[in-house]
Amino acid sequence: MKLLYKDGKKQALTFSFDDNQDYDIKLISIFDKYGMKGTFNINSGILGIKPEDNPDHNVYIKPEEVKEVYKNHEVASHGVEHKFIATLPDNMIVNEFLDDRRALEALTGKLVLGGAYAYGWHNEKIMNILRTLGFKYYRGVNPTYGFFPPQDFLDWLPTCHQGDEKLFEIGQEFLDCPHYVELPLMYVWGHSYEFGRSGNWDDIEKFCAMMSGKEDIWYATNLEICEYILATRSLEFFADGKKCYNPTLHEIWYEKDGKIESIKPGEYATVK
């Protein structure tokens, strides 16, 4: 039995972009053009405010725009005001995460169960606070340059940054990933304003064109991937390893003897 992604896909590609400046609108238009799925990490406390470090440019996305702008993608948390949580007392850390979640859920009407750490900083205490608050995943910034899913989704690290000089090389390595690797995942993170300020939108468009339309790739949001992989880890196996039970709400896909099969929620399957 070799686990696969949704609908029998062998690989997954996801993106994560922070700070909700209105450059997100153009980035999303590129994602939608090429069938990419992204997660956008938002500081609810600065929605609609003009960026202090670039006062001549537009504004952060406005609160009333959030639902429409990100309708095809995932809205996730980035802290209410992008505070450096290492300097905050515990009650303020809770407020930074929980108040952001409350505000974003009110704006989107959807659950907000993940996000990205401001400045990438986190430790075990912060991760435990997030678990208590009901978050399923949170992302750091240090690149792994690999394609393995994280062991702990509250310590999720990306494959690479959008501006990595080896982005296209890494992308090709992912496309050529050996089929015996189980659940390979490529994760690109960054900020849309990095493209906006440099004017270098060609790079992300070329990358999306390079990665698009692949039959074996599942283009998914961070939460979709997190929930699916957690579901695969919840499968319950017989002692002999030949059968398993799916106790989750997700249909789990796998390959057996060269054939793609699935286990529906609440069902048993012979997998070996």
The answer to whether position 118 is within a domain reads: yes
Same domain, 26 and 60: yes
pLDDT, position 31: 98
Q: Which of the residues in the chain have pLDDT under 50? A: none
Same domain for 255 and 153, yes or no, is no
The residues near 71 (Cβ < 8 Å, ≥ 6 apart) are none
Residues 265 and 201 in one domain: no
Number of domains comprising the chain: 2
Q: Are residues 241 and 218 in the same domain?
A: no
Its pTM stands at 0.94
Same domain as 186, residue 65: yes
Which residues span the domain enclosing 38? 10-231
Distance of CA 107 to the CA centre of its chain: 20
Query: What are the tens digits of pLDDT across the range 238-263?
Result: 999 999 999 999 999 999 999 999 99
Same domain for 170 and 252? no
Q: Does 138 share its domain with 265?
A: no
Residue 2 lies inside a defined structural domain of this protein? no
Are residues 257 and 164 located together in one domain of the fold?
A: no
Residues counted in the chain: 272
79, 97 contact by CB (below 8 A) = yes
- As separate numbers, helices (DSSP H) first and strands (DSSP E) second, the chain gives 8, 12
DSSP annotation string for 159-225: SEETT-TTHHHHHHHHHT--TTSSS-EEEEEE-HHHHHHHT--HHHHHHHHHHTT-TTEEE--HHHH
